[in-house]
Structure formats: structure tokens, C-alpha cells
Amino acid sequence: MVISQVQLEQVDRQIKRLVACGNFYGNKLKEAGITGVETVEDFQKLPFSEKEDLREAYPLGLMAVPEEEVVRIHSSSGTTGTPVIIPYTAKDVDDWGIMFKRCYEFAGITNKDRIHITPGYGLWTAGIGFQYGAEKLGAMVIPMGPGNTNKQLQMMMDMGSTVLCATSSYALLLAEEIEQRGIKDKIKLKKGVIGSERWGEKMRQRISTELGIELYDIYGLTEIYGPGIGIN
């Protein structure tokens, strides 16, 4: 394993911070007898965290700063167990927006685009992540949220949306509705940023062909900000 001295110092600093604050991660490190790292061998002794560990930290065991520095929380869905709640500082929110902005830029999206956002808002990280990244980019945001397909399509036509942000299943539904209504010539979409669901190559090709757009797969998870930590 190759790790630089600078990286070791960064990890060591973070470990000391976590141990000092006594949160979930800090206690896990103390239980493993780790209070810092100086060598590669020390680094390789760091314990792994599993999903169940994060669930046990519910509700705010993952908080690593004083509560007055927390400006927001987001949560996983909880469909497979206790939800994982992630507290965000103002710096976390800003960093997340910057990362999402970079993802848009990798997809060739600019501040001249009109970004149509259909994922949900609220405890889920999706909608607000798509929006904040677009605002960082300086693009026009059309914050639709999920459902109400009639209004989605009307706004898409009236506002001249050029980028669609959606789950793969909803992007496919919109593509089918556009085809059935014969309004494809009124739709100005050029690109789609799709996430939050698994989707195969067959579905990808179908959405791309029916909408006539380039597709980009956005990646994210609640435990690391949300969507926008990577894009294909």
C-alpha cells in the first residue's frame, strides 16, 4: 500500500479530532486502541465501519462538531432498517455544492443551461443536492420535485429546460409520455443527469434514444453528502 506522509498527517489529524469529540467514530477508534497514525502499518490497523454501525449511531451519534455548528440534517430512507442521519455544517453544505457543480461541468453543463430537477426534496439528499450544485454553477434551476407529470411536461416546454435531473424510472416515464403526446418537437432537452436507482444499459439506451439526449450517471450516498460525489 502506498500512502504519502502528507496523507498520513491528514488522517492522523482527523483521528485525533474524532477521538477528542467522542462521537461514534471516535469511540470506535478508542475501542480499537487507536489514537493516531504515524506509519502505513498504523493506517492498516484502522477498523472498518459497517452499515449496522452507522444505524446504531442514530440519531446524532455521527455528529463530530458542537451542535451549534450544525445547520442541517439529511437522512437515508430507512427502507432496510434504522435510517442513518448525517449532520451538516455550513462548510459541508458548501463543499457538497462545489462537488456537484464539478459533476455538472464534467457533463458539459454550463450556466447557460436550464436545469429541470425532479427528484424529491426534504430529508432525502437528492433534490436539494441537484439544486445547490446548479446554483453554484450559475444555471437557471427549475425545482419541480417528483410527480405531477402534466405540470412537469408543461414547464419543460414553457421554460425550455435543457437538462433533466431524474431517477431512471421517472426519466423513462417522461420519455414515454412525451412520445405518446407527440410533443417531442417542443422539448429542448439536451442532457440527462440520472441517479438514485440502479439502471442497466438497455434502459439507458431506451431513455437516451426516446428523449434524444446524452445521459450521465450521477453517484452519491447519504453517508457522504449525497448525489454529486461522482459522475460517469
Summarised one tens digit per residue, pLDDT across range 52-105 is: 888 989 999 999 999 999 999 999 887 788 999 999 999 999 999 999 999 999
Cell of 39: 506509519
Q: Which residues of 140-173 are buried (b: 16+ CB within 10 A; e: fewer)?
A: bbbbbebeeeeebbeebeeeebbbbbbbbebbbb
Cα dihedral sign for 52, 103, 167, 117?
Answer: positive
Q: Are 35 and 106 found together in one domain?
A: no
* Shared domain check, 208 and 96: yes
CATH code at position 119: 3.40.50.12780
Residues 172 and 108 in one domain: yes
8 Å CB contact between 229 and 99: yes
Domain assignment present for 76: no
Residue 169 lies inside a defined structural domain of this protein: yes
Residue 214's nearest CA partner among 104, 118, 117 is 104
Measured distance between the N- and C-terminal CA atoms of the chain, rounded to whole angstroms: 26
* pLDDT given for residue 199 in this prediction: 85
- Read off the pTM: 0.89
pLDDT value for 162: 98
Q: Is residue 182 situated within a structural domain?
A: yes
How many domains does the structure of the chain reveal? Answer: 2
Note the Cα 161 to chain centre separation in Å: 21
Same domain, yes or no: 127 and 24: no
138 CA to centre of own chain: 19
**168 part of a folded domain:** yes
Structural domain including 5 reads 1-48
What was the pLDDT predicted at 157?
98
User: What's the pLDDT tens digit per position in 151-195?
Assistant: 999 999 999 999 999 999 999 999 999 999 999 999 999 999 998
**pLDDT at residue 110, rounded to an integer:** 98
Q: Are 128 and 36 part of one and the same domain?
A: no
33-59 pLDDT, tens digit per residue, is: 999 999 999 999 998 888 888 898 999
Same domain, 105 and 38: no
**Same-domain status, 192 and 119:** yes
Assess whether 31 and 146 both reside in one domain.
Answer: no
Quote the pLDDT of residue 76: 86
**So what's the pLDDT on residue 190?**
98
- Note whether residue 58 is domain-resident: no
Give residue 194's pLDDT: 95
Asked whether residue 159 is assigned to any structural domain, the reply reads yes
